[in-house]
Amino acid sequence: MSLKKKPVTGMKDILPAEMQIRDYILGQIKETYRSFGFSSIETPCVEHIENLLSKQGGDNEKLIFKILKRGEKLDLETAQTENDLTDGGLRYDLTLPLSRYFANNAASLPTPFKALQIGNVWRADRPQKGRFRQFMQCDIDILGDATSQAEIELILATTTALSRICPGRGFTVRINDRRILRAMAVSSGFPEDDVDKVFITVDKMDKIGTDGVKAELLENGYSEASADRYLELMNQASPDAAGVRKMGELLKGVLEDGAAENLARIMETVTEVSQVGCQLVFDPTLVRGMGYYTGTIFEVSMEGFGGSVAGGGRYDRMIGKFTGIDTPACGFSIGFERIVTILLDAGFTVPEGNGKEAWLFEKGMGAERLTAIMKEAMAARAEGKTVLVAQMNKNKKFQKEQLGKEGYLEFKEFYKEELKRD
């Protein structure tokens, strides 16, 4: 059987030029988040199948890469369903593993706990540009803080990181609250048990528009009066803190006390404190697809790029699934692969402080001379320089072009004969 040289569908090999950009982005993210007081953690890439199928991950639970039981536990003869054959799976996001991590280690962690987690996740999704079956997520979460300070810190940290990675690009943070969404649906006459189904339709607003949302609601058996009332509510509020407060008045008696004021205060504080000039807008159509969100939700869009580049929200009941006691939690995730795609398409090059030098020596260089070159390179590295030492190829021009793509812009050439030149 011949071996396959191409990666598995939905996965990709990453060449040095792209890897350089990825490392740069990760460096900017880590530096920014650590300046906000977030601590790095790590969780296993494999999770218990029971956790992954706990109805917390929305449609992602249909996209799990499941792992077969091993050894004697794998009984093909008695298995009746797929789940009889599996006991684990690759994580589809970082939030569920974090919740398990906190439930298991809370006694050893400060309160509130500000977590920074970066790692690969896997979803058996349809591959397309900027979307793979294995991809990196960069998450920050604040656990144990029920106040709006958590949301404010997360928005400020994430927008600061994005502005450092992509300076000069405009950002818009869309914000909403699941409690407002639910109150809008109930006050419009939708059955309370059906609101999650209604959210699935509303979440398509960007793709199918108002008319499309109404048509789908009617197709799903809901009354025209409920659909019209819901859409009317969406159009009544302005996209600022005043609009949030107006929505709170419109939903008085249905909406949880303080929910609208909390969201308005988040918007006002971020707007006053932020130093990156991002636009913050109240969007009553914002849903977020994950089933675990309980309160504030947000997404970030970037000028010149369709779709979101970051998103998150509050999930106060997920940790309680492990412990039996609800714990306030809120998180924000940067769409790392999308940021990489944006920078690659823009022809971005990583800024180098001291520059990168490539030292090329002629084939057949004597041992004594080569040793001297290596010693000189070590001295340069000790001064903070990046120095690649490599044998000179026959096609030196092409070699330099390839190295240039990896950021090597300065070259030194060494020959067996000191006076030899091109």
User: Tens-of-pLDDT digits for all 422 residues of the chain?
Assistant: 789 999 999 999 999 889 989 999 999 999 999 999 999 999 999 999 999 998 877 788 889 999 998 877 777 777 777 777 889 999 999 999 999 999 999 999 999 999 999 999 999 988 887 678 999 999 999 999 999 999 999 999 999 999 999 988 888 999 999 999 999 999 999 998 888 888 888 888 888 988 999 999 999 999 999 999 999 998 888 999 999 999 999 999 999 999 999 999 999 999 999 888 788 999 998 988 767 889 999 999 988 787 889 999 999 999 999 999 999 999 999 999 999 999 998 888 887 656 789 999 999 888 888 999 989 989 988 888 889 999 999 899 999 988 887 778 899 999 987 655 54
Q: Could you tell me the pTM of the whole model?
A: 0.85
What residues contact 191, with CB distance under 8 A and at least 6 apart? none
Cis amide prior to 112 (ω within 30 degrees):
yes
What is the 3-state secondary structure of 260-289? HHHHHHHHHHHHHHCCCCCEEEECCCCCCC
Domain boundaries, the chain: 8-168+303-350, 170-286, 356-414
Domain 8-168+303-350's class? alpha beta
* Nearest of 103, 79, 15 to residue 322 by alpha carbon: 103
Main-chain phi, psi angles of 13, to 5 degrees:
-80, 140
Residue bearing tokens 């218990």: 48
234 near 285, Cβ under 8 Å? yes
Read off the amino acid at residue 5: K
* Nearest of 304, 23, 274 to residue 165 by alpha carbon: 23
| Cα 357 to Cα 244: distance, rounded to the nearest angstrom | 55
